[in-house]
Amino acid sequence: MKLHNFNSGPSILPQPVLEAASRAILDFNGTGLSILEIGHRTAWFQEILNEAISSVKTLMQLGDDHEVLFLHGGATTQFMQVPMNLLDENAMAAYCDNGIWGNKAHKEAALFGKVQVVSDTSDRKHSYIQKDFAIPSDASYLHITTNNTVEGTQWHQFPQTAVPLVADMSSDIFCRPMDFNKFALIYAGAQKNMGAAGVNMTVIRKDVLGKVSRKIPAIMDYSKHIAAGSLMNTPPVFAVYVSMLTLRWILNEGGLPEMEKRNRAKADLFYNTLDSLQEVYQPVVAKEDRSWMNAIFFLQKPSLEESFLNLCKQEGMIGVKGYRTVGGVRISMYNALPLESVQTFCDLMRHFASKNG
């Protein structure tokens, strides 16, 4: 049976990426060595890293002010690394708390300096993005989570602010073109639209560095990583390789305009179906803030949830159960998910509704 992979992360990767990665495990580019066996200071790995960095720069249309790093750990490491490098002890950073991940990010930041939560959408279970909040001009930066993986919301317009804008883009990186140059710092765990788990990409505008007085451990210091070209110590070679392959795939497919076209088509198909079946399914996210990547909904009759999820399982739909603390249903529609999978899921929703309406 064909499986439809709606996992929220690690999640579906493009088939050509999986094929190239599996070939490289046995023999990397005809070298007779596995990608798992090559040294990180070889010309081979340097080429991989160079291609990954230049692909990111091309996709994001970054100028020379920005540096691209591939660092250890997931986005959670960045929750601490960002304030360690950007927030002085007596200074203040502004954070938007639009869900589980933004909440974790500001709690980590509070270990390093003062934090002001300038937008908190918990009053409506984070089902919307607040747009009209004030940003103090003395904030060292404003932190947002561009896509709330668990709550199913996404920023479709970004706040206008004079303070440096920092974004966790873990779950919607490269889903569409945007003005990446307006961000002072962007980070993203790789395991959704970018590659294999174990590495994160961080893009930094250099002028925000060197402004804190604390001593930063070398492995946490962005400036030292920039100086070492992401090779301060052994990087997660295979995860960087898979990210490079995925970036190459995005470029070959037509870049971010093409990703946007596909993602918009999938999101339109899904949300139109959801809206047309409201006697059985309950949409919860404000229409203008709906995520193209992670769509959540509930069954109008909670007692039907289990049988809906069982039917999904029977039909080969993987990863459709809502986040453990939220419940309901969530489907993730990352770049590599074909429209056909969303179509199959919508057909199942319609079928289930006709039996249970």
Binding-site residues, in ranges, read 8, 41, 75-76, 101, 149, 168, 191, 233-234
CB nearer ligand PMP, residue 77 or residue 273: 77
Residue nearest to ligand PMP (CB): 74
- Which whole-number Å values give the CA distances from 262 to 179, 241, 266, 321, in the listed order? 19, 25, 6, 23
Least distance CB 23 / ligand PMP (angstroms): 26
Amino acid at site 351: H
Smaller CB separation from ligand PMP, 105 or 348: 105
Catalytic residue among 97, 155, 172, 192: 192
Residue nearer to ligand PMP on the CB measure, 187 or 241: 187
Active site residue 192: yes
Residue 304 CA to residue 348 CA, distance in Å, equals 14
Q: Kindly state the smallest distance separating residue 106's Cβ from ligand PMP, in Å.
A: 12
Q: How far apart are the C-alpha atoms of 2 and 256, rounded to whole Å?
A: 28
Residue 97 is among the residues annotated as catalytic for this protein: no
Q: Which tokens sit at 38?
A: 């090559």
Phi, psi (deg, nearest 5) at residue 100: -55, -45
Binding residues for L-glutamate: 8, 41
What is the nearest approach in angstroms of ligand PMP to the Cβ of residue 76? 3
CB of 355 to ligand PMP, least distance (A): 33
Residue of 44, 97, 155, 168 with catalytic role: 168
Q: Tell me, yes or no, if 249 is annotated catalytic.
A: no
From 44, 97, 101, 266, the catalytic residue: 101
CB-wise, 194 or 244, nearer to ligand PMP? Answer: 194
Annotated binding-site members for pyridoxal 5'-phosphate:
75-76, 101, 149, 168, 191, 233-234
Of 54, 42, 8, nearest in space to 243 by CA:
54
Compute, in degrees rounded to 10, the torsion defined by CA atoms 344, 346, 352, 354. Answer: -120
DSSP letter for each residue of 331-342: EE--TTS-HHHH
Q: 142 Cβ partners below 8 Å, 6+ apart?
A: 93, 94, 95, 96, 118, 135, 159, 161, 163, 164, 165, 166
Chain residues in the site for ligand PMP (CB under 6 A): 9, 74-76, 101, 145, 149, 168, 170-171, 189
Catalytic machinery residues: 101, 168, 192
